[in-house]
């Protein structure tokens, strides 16, 4: 059972990176974008585990990113992680964590199936919509080793490389990292803020259809299934 004692816990750690880290990220998602700050902080910064939770029941629900200043090609920064909220969604618990630095802040929401019903606040749900206007459409064919390549950014969740773990989680095979799908979706964009919700899994080898609007909204499909929806605030139009 999830240990609710993690709520409010704060950890700090110095994170150092090189230009090679950005190159690894770009190779894993098909191009560079400010979304590189997410694995930089989230997987290279403090790690407060979901103590007591069955990790096969954990799903990545949402991700946000705010850029405060440009990331240098190499450098170091102090990263602070805080477990901000544990919401009661009925069928599960939603754990919201935030990583902060002088360069960027990223927030991740994880849904833990079977951990709801404890009488906590339900929390608000961010609404995502897309305009009924013309938009850009592109395609990206993921490869069988896409998850292995993204794992090199520091995201070592066994859901994405361990077949037995994935089966216990209810998947026929390891699935692609949601952050990899997000990185592919926003590759090449320059923005200062990003918000996204993961709505369905992607299997390495799937072809993605990416729809992006000039106003910043986007959504991504694998076949007929929408797997991602969100928006960015542009620092400049690309």
178 in catalytic set:
yes
> Kindly report the CA angle at 15 between 107 and 126, in degrees rounded to 5?
5
Sheet holding 92-100, edge to edge: 10-17, 75-88, 92-100, 104-113, 58-67, 191-198, 225-234, 217-222, 207-212, 136-141
Catalytic residue among 178, 183, 216, 230: 178
Catalytic member of 30, 45, 86, 155: 155
**Which of these is catalytic: 38, 44, 60, 160?**
160
Listed in sequence order, the DSSP H helices in the chain are 19-29, 37-42, 146-151, 163-168, 178-186
- The dihedral built from the CA positions of residue 57, 59, 61 and 65, taken in this order, carries a sign that is positive
**Closest C-alpha among 23, 75, 36 to residue 155:** 36
Give me the helix-helix angle, 19-29 and 178-186, nearest 10°.
90
**Residue tagged 């754990």 (tokens):** 95
Instruction: Answer yes or no: are the C-beta atoms of 194 and 126 closer than 8 Å.
Output: no
Quickly tell me which residue has 């009924």 as its tokens. 132
Catalytic site includes residue 4: no
Spatial contact of 187 and 36, defined as CB atoms under 8 Å apart: no
For residue 218, what are the β-bridge partners? 212, 230
Active-site residue (options: 38, 112, 175, 184): 175
Catalytic residues: 155, 160, 175, 178
């Amino acid at each position: 059972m999830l240990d609710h004692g993690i709520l409010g816990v704060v950890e700090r750690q110095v994170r150092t990176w090189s230009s090679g880290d950005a190159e690894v990220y770009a190779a894993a998602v098909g191009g560079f974008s400010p979304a590189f700050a997410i694995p930089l902080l989230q997987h290279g910064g403090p790690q407060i585990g979901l103590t007591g939770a069955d990790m096969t029941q954990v799903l990545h629900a949402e991700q946000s990113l705010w850029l405060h200043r440009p990331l240098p090609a190499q450098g170091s920064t102090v990263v602070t992680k805080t477990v901000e909220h544990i919401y009661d969604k009925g069928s599960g618990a939603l754990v919201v964590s935030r990583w902060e630095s002088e360069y960027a802040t990223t927030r991740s929401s994880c849904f833990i199936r079977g951990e709801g019903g404890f009488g906590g606040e339900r929390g608000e749900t961010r609404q995502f919509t897309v305009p009924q206007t013309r938009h850009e459409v592109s395609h990206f064919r993921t490869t069988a080793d896409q998850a292995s390549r993204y794992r090199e950014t520091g995201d070592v969740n066994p859901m994405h490389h361990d077949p037995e773990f994935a089966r216990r989680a209810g998947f026929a095979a390891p699935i692609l990292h949601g952050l990899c799908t997000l990185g592919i979706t926003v590759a090449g964009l320059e923005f200062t803020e990003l918000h996204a919700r993961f709505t369905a899994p992607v299997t390495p080898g799937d072809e993605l259809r990416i729809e992006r609007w000039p106003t910043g909204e986007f959504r991504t499909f694998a076949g007929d299934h929408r797997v991602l929806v969100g928006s960015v605030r542009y620092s400049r139009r690309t």
